[in-house]
Structure 1
Amino acid sequence: MIRILFFILAVLLLGAGFAWLADRPGDLVVTLSGMQYKVSLMVAASAIVAIVAAVMLFWWIVKSLVTSPYALRRHFRARKRDRGYQSLSTGLIAASAGDGETARRMVKQADKLLNVDQEPLIKLLDAQAAMLEGRAEDARAKFESMLDDPETKLLGLRGLYLEAQRLGARDASRHYAEEAALLAPGVEWAASAALGQKTTHGDWDGALLLLEKQTATKQIDKTKAKRERAVLLTAKAIETFETDPASARPIAIEANKLAPDLIPAAIVAAKALFSQGDLRKGSKILEYTWKKQPHPEVADTYVHARLGDSVIDRLKRARHLASLYPHHPESNLAIARAALTAGELKEAREAAEAVLRTAPRESAYLLLADIEEAQTGDQGRIRQWLSRAVRAPRDAAWTADGYVSERWAPASPVTGRLDAFEWKVPVEQLGPVIDSGDDFDRAMATEPAQPLGEMKALNPAKPTVSEREKPAFKDDLDDEDVADAEIVHLDQGKPPQDQLAQMAAKTANPERPASVLPAFPETLKPEQKDEELVLPVPDDPGVRPDDAAQRSSKKFRLF
């Protein structure tokens, strides 16, 4: 555009000059070798302009002839470069799409058309093609060769880091991430990876220092940096509290101030305060956290705040904490646990049953099994609660990237991501439902009959509820675990076959919940051999067999 303007301006100036000469007539006389030449000014000016134009044209022709070999070479070189970049672009697109064959073909074309030393993307495309073809060793060799060039060193470190992550080589990935972070502190992936690696290995001071550098260079948002600092301080306080509670106190309090909604920070801060006798301040921290989100660890820490308290005092503290968030399942569970420890079994049962009415969960059924053992000792009822616990919805747990942990951790053990653990119900695939009625019928039809005196339980030795582990899930049950009801072998004559048919019919009753296994007595006394075998009460947590009259008059009672 500028050249066009200059050309128009030159034409206008020439036109204005010729117009000026036309308005002023005159002659130009030139004497040469005794000869006198006379021309007008207009002819003289036109001749001068023509001569200048001819000289410029001649110079351009001579220059073009002289520089034509170089221009031809430059033209062909540019054409070759364009074809090479086209091949490189096609290869990168093919590698991103997962087309390893096309990527390898484009690598060969780009290698012929372009200079590998001058175009680092060829090395990247070659490494990606090797990864797509499954040649991991060649890919790592390509990335390692990039480390020699300062321009591609960071790219090579990232490729080696990702490859180490894929193979599960945590030490190698940590080394590459730290080296990349030192080379380019402003690169987010390197800094984040190094931070996660330091967190995984418990280097809290190094992680905090690296987080401060990220915050200073504005690589991370201030709100996120504040949260991650609280997470790191919480992890450091938890580790320090085991050996030096006094030193852990300021660290934990700072973490709690940075993130008041972080449950582990509140718990470790309260424990540090309780260890130094500051009951009031520690209780306030837990009460604030409880109002935000009731949590069983908060309740346990709050109830056991003072070592010298009696079980009645702990029950009172549980009641007070539950009053801050009434009608919540965790509030009822806190009261139920404290009441069971204090011997208030009626209150414990009522609180646990309240949980079943609002949000049934595994821990509530297990707690009712403990209450049943302490209150009645009825093994049939205990097994009923345990069988319901197997099929009940799971309790919330600390979960990060599909990994479920019993304790909170500052980073995910799967990806190393900081502040990844969340308190939620784990997602799992449920196994097949066990139909107790069909299993009983099958057992009665296939098992050979034995004398009544030789009755044998499939699970002869069962620990008490307090000694039981958490019930296995349905996927872990085998054929012997299906016989949780301890099915016994009966003699063909004692009791008669018609009574066995009645027992099987009652067991397979469609009105009975199919998710519960029938409970049978483990052993019978000798004097009971000839007596009629009494079936257990159907699986209903509302049934309380206080005496035989209640069981015979009313077998079901809802909450």
Structure 2
Amino acid sequence: MLWSMLKALIFVAATAVLAIGATYLLEIGDVALITVAGREFVLTPFVSVLLALAALVLVWILMRLTGLIVAGIRFLNGDETALTRYFNRRSEKRGFEALSDSILALAAGEGHLAIRKAERAAKLLARPEVTNLLIAQGAEMADDKARATEAFKALVQDERTRFVGVRGLLQQKLAAGDTDTALKLAEKALALRPKNADMQDTLLRLQAQYEDWAGARATLNAKLRSGTLPRDVHKRRDAVLALADAREALADGQIARATELAKSANRQSPSLVPAAVMAARMSIAEGKAKQAASVIQKAWGLVPHPDLAAAFAEIVPEETPEARIKRFRPLLKQHQGHREARLLEAELQIAAKEFDEARKALGSLAQDEPDARSLTVMAAIERGEGGEDRLVRAWLAKAVTASRGPQWLCEACGHVHAEWRPTCTHCDGFDTLHWAVPPQSEAALQGPEQMLPLIVGALDGPSPAAVETPETVATPQQTAPSEPIVEPVSGEDTLTLGPEFRIDDEEDASKGADAVQAARGVN
């Protein structure tokens, strides 16, 4: 309000001054005489002032026209002028509008529209690092691989966008299955951005896929140094790579190197079961039984596993069943009540023909957590105790359609592996295998159920499903030891259930061990 009043006062004052000045000039009686080309002009002071002001305006107009002409000449010559800046600003505005439209088209999933808008933006803006990226992304969305490759190659030419271009080409090669070129591009990308976690993971996965264990360990160390990998995870994965390298060295006959790598893997990750098993077996080969037992006991204390039990049995392969039970006692005490410990003790007792003790050890696993191994162990106990054929066959019938128990399962894709591997054979995931029970659909069991009459044979009594099972039963676990803890017993008049599954029809209690070996065959 105050400022408005002040402006009004200034305007009134200026008007008053001009009016007073004009009145003063009109009242002056003096005149000015100007002679131009022989002609005389008489000018009053007021007219003289008006002519002077008109002359100033004319001079200003001439100067502006001269500047405009000069600017036009410079514009035509390609020099930067106000005129060029005007047109540049106009083009820049239209270019940014096209750029925004391209980004919005990408967000809407309209690849072709995004390409057109990005091409228009490229003509109006000098921003190839942005427009080429939008063209590449739009081409990928529109499944125009050739156009996308061209755009990514253009990005590689610019130092600012080289990494983005290499990464884009890498993703294309991975999608096309060209892992050879992808590996080289991943190495180049990681050289450009050593701390990029995504490139580190991609290169590590490709190196593991190509079994370049030394290169993979170097990449893993780079991840640790860059702070993108926790130290405990690094130790675990480095142990996995060392174990894979040890297996390869053993296959090549490099025993000393394989031993060193296996023991190194076991030191870094004592809970890695395959590393403990290999380290123990290498110690057994060196005649270091106590060292092998120490490795197995430490690993068993962390993760009870059938492979560890098999390796522990290999330390003294010729011992009697009673001596073996005594030697295994420290292992069994570490995890009393654990399903693997109960199954292991039941198998050991069956081998010693102590079927009552085997039943006590097994407990209710076959009812609470039925799987092929526990049900078959229960069948062996029934056979060893002289049970009826129909009862033994009922347990075996259940084992056919039961879960296979824990197996090496890829946590990324769910693929089941017969043995541990550093990478999944299905999805190439690195260090994704873990010991777990895979999901089992009812549809997967329909085939075995329909085959039961042919496998088990006709029963004189009730069907296997109708046989009342005892209260005390057992549980399964997948075991595939190279040397079984319980030795198989051969016999005649056998009932065949798979290539290695034999149950004798005799009433001899010693045939119970055969059913335990059968469990290993089913699993």
TM bracket, shorter-chain basis: 0.5 to 0.7
> What residue in structure 2 maps to residue 456 of structure 1?
none
Partners of 1:87 and 1:107 within 8 A in 2: yes
Partners of 1:294 and 1:330 within 8 A in 2: yes
Tell me, yes or no, if structure 1 residue 103 matches structure 2 residue 106. Answer: no
1:153-185: per-residue Cα shift (whole Å, max 9, x none)? 322322222233334443343232233234443
Tell me, yes or no, if structure 1 residue 541 matches structure 2 residue 469. Answer: yes
> What residue in structure 1 maps to residue 452 of structure 2?
484
Cα pair distance change 1:173/1:239, threshold 3 Å: same
> What residue in structure 1 maps to residue 84 of structure 2?
73
Q: Residues 124-203 of structure 1 correspond to what in structure 2 (within 5 A)?
A: 124-203=133-212
> What residue in structure 2 maps to residue 226 of structure 1?
235
Partners of 1:383 and 1:485 within 8 A in 2: no
CA distance in 1, matches of 2:183, 2:295: 37
> What residue in structure 2 maps to residue 206 of structure 1?
215
Partners of 1:340 and 1:371 within 8 A in 2: yes
Q: Residues 377-526 of structure 1 correspond to what in structure 2 (within 5 A)?
A: 380-400=390-410, 401=412, 402-428=414-440, 430-432=441-443, 473-474=444-445, 476-477=447-448, 482-486=450-454, 520-521=458-459
Partners of 1:332 and 1:354 within 8 A in 2: no
Residue identity matched to 1:425: V
Deviation at 1:254, TM superposition (A): 2.3
Cα pair distance change 1:229/1:309, threshold 3 Å: same
Residue identity matched to 2:85: R
Partners of 2:390 and 2:461 within 8 A in 1: no
> What residue in structure 1 maps to residue 6 of structure 2?
none
SS in 1 for 2:128: coil
1:123-161: per-residue Cα shift (whole Å, max 9, x none)? 222222222223334433443454444444322322222
> What residue in structure 1 maps to residue 279 of structure 2?
269
1:420-463: per-residue Cα shift (whole Å, max 9, x none)? 222222235x134xxxxxxxxxxxxxxxxxxxxxxxxxxxxxxx
Identity %: 27
Q: Which runs of 4+ in 1 moved over 6 A?
A: 61-69, 543-547
Residue identity matched to 1:190: M
- The answer for unaligned runs of 5 or more in structure 1 is 1-53, 433-472, 488-517, 522-532, 548-559
CA distance in 1, matches of 2:199, 2:347: 47
Match of 2:326 among 313, 316, 323: 316
**How many pairs align?**
402
Cα pair distance change 1:93/1:253, threshold 3 Å: farther
Residue identity matched to 1:276: E
CA distance in 2, matches of 1:148, 1:212: 30
1:356-377: per-residue Cα shift (whole Å, max 9, x none)? 2553333212333455566659
1:375-398: per-residue Cα shift (whole Å, max 9, x none)? 659664444223323443452222
TM-score of the two chains, using structure 1 as the length reference: 0.62
Cα pair distance change 1:367/1:218, threshold 3 Å: same
CA distance in 1, matches of 2:156, 2:429: 26
Question: Quick check: 396-405 or 207-216, which moved more?
Answer: 207-216
Q: Which structure has the higher relative contact order (CA within 8 Å, separation 6+)?
A: 2
Tell me, yes or no, if structure 1 residue 119 matches structure 2 residue 131. Answer: no
> What residue in structure 2 maps to residue 463 of structure 1?
none
Deviation at 1:225, TM superposition (A): 2.6
CA distance in 2, matches of 1:380, 1:171: 59
Structure ranking higher in helix proportion: 2
- The answer for unaligned runs of 5 or more in structure 2 is 1-55, 76-80, 473-504, 508-523
CA distance in 2, matches of 1:170, 1:383: 51
Cα pair distance change 1:214/1:486, threshold 3 Å: closer
1:188-207: per-residue Cα shift (whole Å, max 9, x none)? 32232222211222221222
Cα pair distance change 1:155/1:359, threshold 3 Å: same
Match of 2:264 among 254, 267, 281: 254
Deviation at 1:331, TM superposition (A): 0.3
SS in 2 for 1:426: coil
